[in-house]
């Protein structure tokens, strides 16, 4: 899994990373007004641009009806929150979600029957739900009916400076097979995915000459 603190990017590093962005992401980046949204598009676009270089792709990934980008033969997913980006590659469909621990949106908690008085518990459950629907390329409307027992889910906390984040990764059980494939990259397929993630990191670091490059975390 790739973890990248976009808050640490300097102006010159951001300009350098723009050269990695596929045309669609570059256009969206320049059209975006809010700095936070531009930062998210830059990070996601740079990861996808690096992924395209590693796998020799000339076309941007197609998107599902919910907007999830994916290739038929290269499965990946990206999420961001509070300037933190995470991404993961997989041998099958995968969904990933990260959230900065913050005040619980009470209306959302009530709608989805989640704890409104415990921020950590709320976002742990929320990220698991989001990761599951993203694994299948479904929209947010599926959150009400998603059955988490149909997925292998791995989740944990990340701490950066004074902020705490929680993330979740999900894969459909009928696509995963051995559950160890989710939380431990094993065998030749796992080694290939690990090498691909390392190659993506190298492309990002070389392009932006980053002072604080993204890191790979083995889950």
Q: Could you state, in order of their start, the residue ranges of all structural domains in the chain?
A: 2-216
Question: Dihedral of the CA atoms 11, 14, 15, 19 (nearest 10)?
Answer: 170
pTM: 0.91
Give bridge partners of residue 88 from the DSSP assignment: 77
Band (185; pLDDT cuts 50, 70, 90): very low
Could you report the per-residue pLDDT of 91-120, keeping only the tens digit for each?
889 999 999 999 999 999 999 999 999 999
Burial 52-61 (b: 16+ CB within 10 A, else e): bbbeebeebb
> How far apart are the C-alpha atoms of 38 and 31, rounded to whole Å?
9
Average pLDDT over residues 35-62: 96
User: Which residues 6+ apart lie within 8 Å of 24 measured at CB?
Assistant: 60
Report the pLDDT value the prediction gives residue 175, as an integer from 0 to 100: 62
> How far apart are the C-alpha atoms of 29 and 33, rounded to whole Å?
8
> How far apart are the C-alpha atoms of 75 and 94, rounded to whole Å?
7
Of 184-193, 196-205, 208-217, the range with the lowest mean pLDDT is 184-193
Could you report the per-residue pLDDT of 137-181, keeping only the tens digit for each?
887 888 989 999 999 999 999 998 889 999 999 999 876 554 444
The token duo for 203 is 């492309």
Asked if residues 94 and 113 have their Cβ atoms less than 8 Å apart, the reply is: no
């Amino acid at each position: 899994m790739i973890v990248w603190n976009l808050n640490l990017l300097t102006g010159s590093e951001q300009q350098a990373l723009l050269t990695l962005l596929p045309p669609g992401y570059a256009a969206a980046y320049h059209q975006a007004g809010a700095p936070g949204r531009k930062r998210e598009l830059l990070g996601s676009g740079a990861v996808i641009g690096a992924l395209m270089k590693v796998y020799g792709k000339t076309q941007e990934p197609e998107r599902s009806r919910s907007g999830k980008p994916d290739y038929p033969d290269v499965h990946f997913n990206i999420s961001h929150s509070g300037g933190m980006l995470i991404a993961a590659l997989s041998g099958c469909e995968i969904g990933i979600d990260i959230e900065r621990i913050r005040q619980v949106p009470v209306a959302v908690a009530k709608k989805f029957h989640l704890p409104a008085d415990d921020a950590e518990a709320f976002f742990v459950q929320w990220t698991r739900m989001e990761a599951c629907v993203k694994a299948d390329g479904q929209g947010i409307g599926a959150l009400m009916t998603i059955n988490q027992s149909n997925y292998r889910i791995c989740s944990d906390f990340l701490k950066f400076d004074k902020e705490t984040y929680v993330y979740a990764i999900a894969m459909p059980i009928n696509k995963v097979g051995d559950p160890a494939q989710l939380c431990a990259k094993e065998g030749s397929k796992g080694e290939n995915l690990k090498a691909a993630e390392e190659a993506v990191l190298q492309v990002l670091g070389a392009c932006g000459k980053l002072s604080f490059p993204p890191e790979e975390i083995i889950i």
